Amino acid sequence: MRRKKLALAAGFCLAFLLGTLLNLLCVPGFDHHQQQLQNGVTPVPLIAASRQGKGSSQDLLKQLQERYKEVIRYREHQAPVSATVRLLLRPLERRLMDLAQRSSENVHKPENSKSSIPDLSPVSPLSSKIDVSLRPPLLSCQDITNGSNVRYLGSGYTKAVYKLVLNDTVSVALKSVDFGGHDIQNCVQLYRNLEDCYRLASFKIVKEMILLQRLQHPNILQLYGYCYQDSNDISDTLTTITELGSPLEMIQLLQSSWEDRFRICLSLVRLLHYLAHSPLGSITLLDFRPRQFVIVDGELKVTDLDDASMDGTSCSSNADCFMEFPARNFTLQCSVEGKCQNMNEKRNLYNAYRFFFTYLLPHSAPSSLRPLLDSIVNATGELRWGIDETLAQFEKILYMYKNGLYLPNITHAPMAGYEYKQVADISIAEEDYRCWPSYHHNGCLLSVFNINEAIKICESHSQCQAFVWTNQTTWTGRQLVFFKAGSRNLVPDIDKITYLKLTS
């Protein structure tokens, strides 16, 4: 049985690796040459322009103007915010405010402050600084200066990410343009101007900062503040201060419990439902890959929004509404208004299917829930459902799982002549055996809805001779139970109950 389960787990991992490789090799999303032209630069001085030649200067200036217009468009897109959507300060945010130890008058004083609330009047695209804070920042340059234990975490095409510890207690993430990244390097090779290449690349961070403020949702990373400061002989380089998450490791997720994997998928679906109905309209994540997400307290959160888009696709016929993916293609309807119907929503949903649902949803799920999970996988893989129906089905499964409606409606009847003796305030030291999937690497720790489910699991495991009812619960409120291979090492343990298997 153990070898069979290990082989099954290895098979899942191999399938995931092969599928991910195919997706990454065939993904149609990003042309690096196009990103060269779009991503890379900031304001271009006239001295550099004369050295490069008129053509290069005009091309760079055009890119700056287009990127600037995009930033302003996202900044000025006004939408009413209802009282129900308005976010209250979360506990961590209140803690960050306490850690800052400065009065609100000092934080938001416009004099000599590089993180002051902006004047929303248009500014020149060649300005060295664009200040687009839509609400008072919790953290600023002073907090970065006072922080400690700065550690490099990683980088992508444009940005580098660092970890910073505030007052030795709270960790945050710092994002800034990566001077050694492909974006800057390709631009500098083309235009020979580091400062202006930085300016263009920094517009992507500005856009992301705007979106992190406008799109308020539990599954979107929180923006705590930002800082303009001089760096690398460049004035007013921008650093954003955000919530810190853990990288999404798909191989580890495949080895985790189905309950945790379902939570990741549910977080994603709730996020995509919000993006489809956001205050800015329907938003698509153009660079939709697992590396664009992080885990915060077990919840999935999107961290990169610089490649998000609220633009719809114009069309004159259905043929213009063509979506191409590695495994298959789709043609959507062209509306009478000349827009492809739900293209942003459908693109997000199919990417969720191919990167997440197909790997994380069905495997090791409760048997009675598998038909519902298979329906979700099949319907999203065919794009027969929209995000509203997909979310409704996820919430239905969550309700059934939390309330034990997936279990057979029977009370426990002793099987194979076994009965159980209950011993309060007692646990069992060691005497563990491994099962999969488990919340404990060296033991068999599973979640159950009630005592009947725990007994059923114990009787299905040949090694199980007892189980310990802990005082811990999962995110769904289900009880964590340790299944044991013996009961020789009984030890006192308050608030735990041990069930010993007896032979009649």
Q: How far does Cα 205 stand from its chain's mean position?
A: 18
Tell me the three state secondary structure of residue 215.
Answer: coil
Let me know: does 349 contact 383? Beta carbons within 8 Å.
yes
Q: How far does Cα 150 stand from its chain's mean position?
A: 23
Of 23, 18, 12, the residue nearest 291 (C-alpha): 23
Neighbouring-strand partners of residue 387: none
The amino acid present at 144, given as its one-letter code, is: I
The amino acid present at 235, given as its one-letter code, is: S
Query: Distances in Å between the alpha carbon of 236 and those of 51, 483, 487?
Result: 24, 58, 66
Of 271, 270, 272, 289, the residue nearest 349 (C-alpha): 272
Residue with tokens 């953290």: 139
444-448/479-484 β-pairing = antiparallel
CB atoms within 10 A of CB 380: 27
What does 225-248 look like in DSSP terms, one character per residue? EEEEEEETTEEEEEEEEEE--EE-
- Largest interatomic CA distance in the chain: 95
Q: Which residues are catalytic?
A: 287
Let me know: does 41 contact 126? Beta carbons within 8 Å.
no
Q: Whole-angstrom Cα distance, residue 474 to residue 264?
A: 14
